[in-house]
Amino acid sequence: MNTADYISRHINGEGKILEVKELVENKTEELKDRVSKLNRKPKLAIIRVGGDYASGKYVANKIKRCKEVGIESEVIHFPKDVDQMTLEWEILRLNVENTDGILLQLPLPKHLDEYYLTNLIETEKDVDGFTIGNMGKLMLNQEGNIACTPKGIMTILKENHIDVNGKDVLIINRSNIVGKPLSMLMLQENATVTIAHSKTKDLETKIWNADIVVTAIGKPNFFEAKDFRPGTVIIDVSINFDENGKMCGDVKKSDYDRLVEKGCKISPVPNGIGQMTVLSLIEQTIEIAERNICYK
């Protein structure tokens, strides 16, 4: 079979860069409309500790999107040497206050117990889906809050009519935030899932054999067009910075055109998963509110 035949037979048709601009615009309008049907504004509370630059940028982005969609937000910012007890009290306060979603921005400074603090958040208000309760629900196919990056990835695939049913999906990441929850979502949609990590043998062959590759290894421009089989769908989750300080993913940006030529679809960095993650967070805050609030 030559390459053209191969691509035409392949599950996902023509090559394409999976830009999210239009999807984000449409979804923003849909979310605004959902908010307008509620009898009060949903509210997201974000707890931030310390002055980490990247965390600051992420939080600012989340707040900007909340405003755009018309939901309330509050940032509670603590100094980096805040003690564990102060954070515990803050989370317990938010659990009983008029807040729909609570987010504890990670990572936390080393002296704080990230796992313990995250799990103090009420399951229903855990907008990140990181608590044992929500992770367990995901495992058991029960409705709950889902980690926002995997949720965003599934939205991008769905909106681009990329069916995962029966497909071989390789996820190169085993974190609690991306790899594990995503594998569950893929499994629910009948994909055959492989999770790869730093100890995985023969990654090259696994990449070559996959229909869909999700990468979040955090290595700037690591993969090249030649690493992927024609027609592969590539979801690049990493937000890296190259030697010139330019944002990039794990897949070499200068190879995007070559990938498209060989029938691959690739979600770009920037303007890919990062934007969908933030929008998924807003969507999930609204979903929680919809469960709590009366309609007009």
Just list the catalytic residues: 62, 105, 128
- Binding ligand GUN (rule: CB under 6 A), the pick from 105, 134, 155, 238 is 105
Which of 148, 220, 151 shows the shortest CA–CA distance to 185?
A: 151
The two structure tokens encoding residue 50:
């310390």
Contact call for residue 73 and ligand GUN (CB under 6 A) = no
Contact call for residue 210 and ligand GUN (CB under 6 A) = no
Contact call for residue 106 and ligand GUN (CB under 6 A) = yes
Contact call for residue 154 and ligand GUN (CB under 6 A) = no
- Of 100 and 211, the one with the shorter C-beta distance to ligand GUN is 100
- Binding ligand GUN (rule: CB under 6 A), the pick from 103, 171, 212, 248 is 103
- Of 207 and 288, the one with the shorter C-beta distance to ligand GUN is 288
Interface with ligand GUN by CB under 6 A: which range of 1-9, 97-105, 210-218, 286-294? 97-105
Rounded least distance, CB 1 to ligand GUN, Å: 42
**Site residues for ligand GUN per CB under 6 A:** 58, 103-106, 128, 148
